[in-house]
């Protein structure tokens, strides 16, 4: 509540009114453009459809930091028919958000509580006989037939049953199907080097998955096959199979660096408001250690976002971090601090409250998540999933449209042809 004094002089009255944080412009926010998500999903699902494949949009890690329920709703209204997540909690959160479309969850510890996910009709990936037994036990407790995606390790070396254990897993799954306890929905795997479209490992893995799938077919089942991630969806139509699983591309970030402009539209912009502007003389040091010192009088802008919020401390180690203020691109100077960075504005007219774009679409030469990743020696996946702390997530765009009725009512938005395209 906020106390406000109302009335005329001599007759002031204290009135308590609700404080609504959403009505106050945030000091720093990650703005998510759901119309960009819809655009990207439309491109990806259209590409898959030309190969006869359906599309599962991956919304793990809270939609790569963009908001899983909001992104899921947008994706399902734009051509996707499935959603994919890692954990059981991520899957049940989608159900709690009103999404009723098929959801696959694939990363579990066998002693987890599978009951809520099985009860919510979530498809579950299994990679071992022990894993399968735990899932089937949840089916018995809940009285539900479990929907299985059998995962084969075709060369990535992470999750999935290795070839030596595949027959045993299939035997147990077949027994469960015969008893009415399970349905084998799909056989699947994940690519190790999809960001190199011509790498021979892709064909090795595709052949291994085909062998695993044929083994299941020989038992009388007709499961779906899925293998392609974002990169393979965009570059290898021969690997689309029955279902593709784009992730990072959904959010407008190209999984493969390319010289030409990408048709994808980045969906996240990180921005903050200037907290303070001041002029300093030549020879004035900035931030801890005075690693930067002004060489002439200049205007400095204080931006309230730091490493506690997802702006990595080492991002400006080489002094190359830049931001966009209005139409101007200006350098960050000095060390990134826990709560703030300082921008050298030169003689640019910057005022308190002005918006500073730390990364976004790249429009007007502005900084991008890929630039951050390149500077940090990492990938842009890590950048967009790293927003945290006091960064408010704000959702823009409708995120819904024709076909949105296949994913339920949901919760309000705004909680904190082949070849290269």
Catalytically active residues are 60, 288
3-class secondary structure, 188:
strand
Q: Of 128, 118, 107, 213, whose CA–CA distance to 172 is shortest?
A: 128
Q: Any binding-site annotation on 16?
A: no
Give the span between the Cα atoms of 43 and 39, in whole angstroms: 6
Buried b (16+ CB within 10 A) or exposed e, 328-354: bebbbbbbbbebbbbbbbeebebeeeb
Angle subtended at Cα 325 by Cα 324 and Cα 330, rounded to the nearest 5 degrees: 60
Q: Is 158 annotated as a binding residue?
A: yes
- The residues near 278 (Cβ < 8 Å, ≥ 6 apart) are 299, 300
- Surface-to-core class of residue 49, CB atoms within 10 Å of its CB (0-12 exposed, 13-18 middle, 19+ buried): middle
Nearest to 213 by CA among 276, 180, 170: 170
Beta strands 13-17 and 328-333, pairing class? unpaired
333 to 35, 339, 383: CA distances (angstroms): 34, 15, 20
Mention every residue, 6+ apart, whose C-beta is less than 8 A from residue 164: none
Among all chains, which residue has been given the structure tokens 């991956």?
Answer: 58
For helices 68-76 and 34-50, give the axis angle rounded to 10 degrees: 50
C-beta neighbour count of 67 within 10 angstroms: 27
Gap between the Cα atoms of 414 and 389, Å rounded: 16
Q: Residue 108 corresponds to which tokens in the numbers above? A: 């579990």
CA distance 188 to 210: 9
Q: Per 3-state DSSP, what percentage of the chain is helix, strand, and coil (rounded to 5)?
A: 35, 25, 45
CA distance 109 to 165: 18
Annotated binding-site ranges: 158, 338
Annotated binding-site ranges for substrate: 158, 338
């Amino acid at each position: 509540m906020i106390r406000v004094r109302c009335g005329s002089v001599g007759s002031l009255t204290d009135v308590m009114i609700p404080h609504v944080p959403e009505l106050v412009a945030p000091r720093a926010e990650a703005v998510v453009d759901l119309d960009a998500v819809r655009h990207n999903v439309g491109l990806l699902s259209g590409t898959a459809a030309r190969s006869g494949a359906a599309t599962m949009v991956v919304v793990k890690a809270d939609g790569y930091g963009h908001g899983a329920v909001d992104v899921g709703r947008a994706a399902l209204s734009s051509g996707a028919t499935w959603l994919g997540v890692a954990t059981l909690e991520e899957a049940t959160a989608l159900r709690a958000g009103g999404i009723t479309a098929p959801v696959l969850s694939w990363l579990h510890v066998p002693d987890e509580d599978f009951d809520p996910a099985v009860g919510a009709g979530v498809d579950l990936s299994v990679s071992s006989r022990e894993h399968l037994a735990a899932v089937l036990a949840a089916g018995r407790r809940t009285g539900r037939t479990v929907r299985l995606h059998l995962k084969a390790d075709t060369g990535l070396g992470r999750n999935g049953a290795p070839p030596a254990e595949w027959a045993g897993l299939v035997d147990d799954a077949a027994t469960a199907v015969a008893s009415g306890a399970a349905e084998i929905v799909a056989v699947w795997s994940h690519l190790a080097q999809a960001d190199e479209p011509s790498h021979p490992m892709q064909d090795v893995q595709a052949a291994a998955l085909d062998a695993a799938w044929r083994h299941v077919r020989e038992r009388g089942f007709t499961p779906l096959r899925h293998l392609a991630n974002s990169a393979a969806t965009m570059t290898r139509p021969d690997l689309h199979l029955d279902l593709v699983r784009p992730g990072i591309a959904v959010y407008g970030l190209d999984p493969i660096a390319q010289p030409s402009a990408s048709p994808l539209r980045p969906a996240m912009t990180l921005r903050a408001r200037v907290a303070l502007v001041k002029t300093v003389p030549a020879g004035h040091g900035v931030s801890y250690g005075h690693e930067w010192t002004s060489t002439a009088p200049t205007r400095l802008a204080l931006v309230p976002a730091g490493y506690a919020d997802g702006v990595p401390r080492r991002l400006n180690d080489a002094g190359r971090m830049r931001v966009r203020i209005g139409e101007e691109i200006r350098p960050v100077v000095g060390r990134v601090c826990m709560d703030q960075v300082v921008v050298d504005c030169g003689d640019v007219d910057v005022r308190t409250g002005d918006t500073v774009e730390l990364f976004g679409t790249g429009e007007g030469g502005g900084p991008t998540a890929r630039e951050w990743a390149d500077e940090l020696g990492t990938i842009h996946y890590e950048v967009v999933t790293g927003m945290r702390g006091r960064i408010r997530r704000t959702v823009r765009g409708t995120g819904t449209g024709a076909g949105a009725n296949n994913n339920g009512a949901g919760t309000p938005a705004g909680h904190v042809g082949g070849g290269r395209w």
